[in-house]
Amino acid sequence: MAIRNLRLEGDEILKKKSREVEVIDEKIQILIDDMIETMHKYNGVGLAAVQVGVLKRVIVIDLYDDNGPIVLINPIIIKTKGEKEVDEGCLSFPNQFAKVIRPAEVVAEYTDRDGKRMRVKAKELLAQAISHEVDHLNGEVFMDKIIPGTLEYVEPEK
């Protein structure tokens, strides 16, 4: 496993649409493990492959509960319900936070790392994380969606 370099604000790759994963091979498994390790190193809740420079439809999410990280390959949001204003940040935009409108609930279909097609009904933080990371796969970043006047820069701790 390895820590991958994060692609940061201004990197053109963050605006590109990711491609479907055709085969879940050893390269994809290594990518997934590296993404989980990278997300944990930077205390992230979610990470999309594009954020480590790989244009594949792979996201990892960890709510730091007892369930451990979840891996979503080729995720599709098939249903959303409601809206809520949430505080959001992004590992590709370090120390920047803003308010965004996200669905209150989402239903997503995806393939897990074992190749099984799955469905998740998500609320709260998981719904927010899935929405945020799927946006990354479509070349959208949370900065494109912020409520005007809510952007804050938080000085990193020394």
Q: Give catalytic status of residue 124 as yes or no.
A: no
Instruction: Find how far residue 3's CA is from the centre of its chain.
Output: 16
Task: Give the CA radius of gyration of the chain.
Answer: 15
Write down the catalytic residue from 133, 140, 155, 157. Answer: 133
- Which residue, 106, 102, 105, 99, is CA-closest to 143? 99
Question: DSSP string covering 2-44, please?
Answer: -PPPPP-TT-GGGGSPPBPP----HHHHHHHHHHHHHHHHTT-
Active site residues: 133
